[in-house]
């Protein structure tokens, strides 16, 4: 069987038998197409570990990050696992491949409370000074503030917030149903009264009562996309002359690190972030060295000892 035909079968399997979501399918398509471009004329039975080694080398030569290379290889490995299971090939060539791909450990970049305060203070002042409450610009400003507030208040991923539906949020209580990676569901609640008030104002301005569809909207009343949210954050970052490049995901990191600083158990934070493994959440315990210094300076028992006359 030609690789092209095998990939088509695998795509069908992923879509209709594994029921993978559309975002995952698009990512698979990119990696499978890239693999097919190199081995277009090959029969799948003749692709061996040496071909796979050449493919890994090409990925390195194209300066892909280790994380990206691991993802691309995982997709191709899933393809060959499927072909082996369906007895199209006798042995998955990945069984004979040994590739050690170690990612450099990067600590997540977060904003401290003062940096978040600067952004929100600017936006709220701008909102208060706005003369015309029924204009499109005012509506979009309220949406922008609410988007940033929700990112910080809940720690959701930007994709989760962008895809949030109207019926997945209780406007009165602030209870939100989030569908995360792997369609795993979790519940998180907005408890701050100012954010809840802003939430209700947004719903009224965009006339969302008793409507269906996406919760956050752009000026065309379409879904406020992930890229739209990133550009919005970047725009307001430039307006306040922030000293660092700010992304929506940094509010998620801030949510986790600041809760840890307040003494919240890491397992509660794991649940709120939707992490499958506690080890993913524990990286936040290594982030804030300034807070660590403060703890050791004020809490360490050595301060009770003195030997200098």
Query: For the domain that residue 92 is a member of, what is the CATH number?
Result: 1.10.150.130
Domain that holds residue 276: 113-294
239 and 126 in a single domain? The answer is: yes
109 DSSP assignment: P
Residue in the block written with tokens 């149903």: 177
205 and 284 in a single domain? The answer is: yes
Q: Check residue 98 and give its pLDDT.
A: 80
Residues with catalytic roles: 157, 181, 249, 252, 275, 284
* Boundary residue ending a domain (68, 96, 124): 96
Is residue 123 in some structural domain? yes
159 and 199 in a single domain? The answer is: yes
Is residue 107 in some structural domain? no
141 and 289 in a single domain? The answer is: yes
* Boundary residue ending a domain (65, 96, 127): 96
Q: Check residue 232 and give its pLDDT.
A: 97
Q: Give residue-wise pLDDT tens across range 231-262.
A: 999 999 999 998 889 999 999 999 998 888 88
* Bridge pairing between strands 185-189 and 175-179: antiparallel
175 and 221 in a single domain? The answer is: yes
Number of domains, the chain: 2
Quote the crossing angle between the two packed helices 248-261 and 266-273, to the nearest 10°: 160
Is residue 308 in some structural domain? no
C-alpha span between 45 and 65 (Å, rounded): 29
* Boundary residue ending a domain (96, 128, 148): 96
Is residue 301 in some structural domain? no
Dihedrals phi, psi of 104, to nearest 5 degrees: -65, 135
Is 64 buried (19+), middle (13-18) or exposed (0-12) by CB count in 10 A? middle
Q: Check residue 2 and give its pLDDT.
A: 92
271 and 139 in a single domain? The answer is: yes
Q: Check residue 236 and give its pLDDT.
A: 95
Q: Is the pTM of this model over 0.75?
A: no
pLDDT at 83 over 90: yes
Q: Check residue 115 and give its pLDDT.
A: 93
CB-hemisphere CA count at 13 Å for 172?
0
Is residue 182 in some structural domain? yes
120 and 89 in a single domain? The answer is: no
pLDDT at 309 over 60: no
134 and 87 in a single domain? The answer is: no
């Amino acid at each position: 069987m030609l690789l092209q035909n095998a990939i088509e079968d695998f795509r069908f399997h992923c879509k209709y038998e594994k029921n993978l979501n559309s975002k995952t399918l698009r990512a698979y398509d990119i990696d499978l197409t890239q693999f097919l471009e190199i081995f277009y004329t090959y029969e799948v039975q003749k692709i061996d570990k040496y071909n796979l080694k050449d493919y890994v080398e090409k990925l390195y030569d194209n300066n892909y990050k280790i994380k990206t290379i691991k993802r691309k290889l995982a997709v191709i490995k899933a393809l060959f696992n499927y072909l082996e299971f369906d007895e199209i090939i006798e042995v998955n060539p990945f069984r004979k491949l040994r590739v050690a791909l170690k990612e450099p450990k990067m600590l997540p970049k977060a904003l401290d409370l003062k940096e978040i305060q600067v952004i929100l203070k600017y936006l709220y002042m701008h909102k208060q000074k706005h003369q015309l409450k029924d204009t499109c610009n005012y509506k979009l400003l309220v949406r922008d503030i609410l988007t940033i507030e929700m990112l910080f208040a809940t720690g959701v991923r930007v994709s989760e917030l962008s895809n949030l539906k109207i019926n997945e949020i209780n406007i009165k209580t602030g209870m939100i149903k989030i569908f995360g990676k792997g369609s795993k569901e979790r519940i998180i609640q907005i408890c701050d009264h100012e954010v809840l008030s802003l939430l209700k104002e947004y719903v009224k301005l965009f006339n969302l009562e008793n409507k269906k569809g996406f919760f956050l909207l752009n000026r065309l009343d379409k879904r406020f996309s992930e890229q739209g949210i990133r550009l919005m954050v970047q725009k307001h970052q430039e307006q306040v002359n922030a000293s660092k490049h700010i992304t929506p995901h940094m509010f998620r990191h801030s949510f986790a690190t600041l809760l840890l600083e307040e003494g919240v158990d890491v397992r509660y934070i794991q649940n709120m972030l939707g992490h499958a493994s506690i080890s993913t959440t524990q990286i936040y315990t290594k982030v804030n060295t300034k807070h660590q210094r403060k703890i050791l300076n004020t809490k360490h028992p050595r301060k009770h000892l003195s030997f200098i006359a």
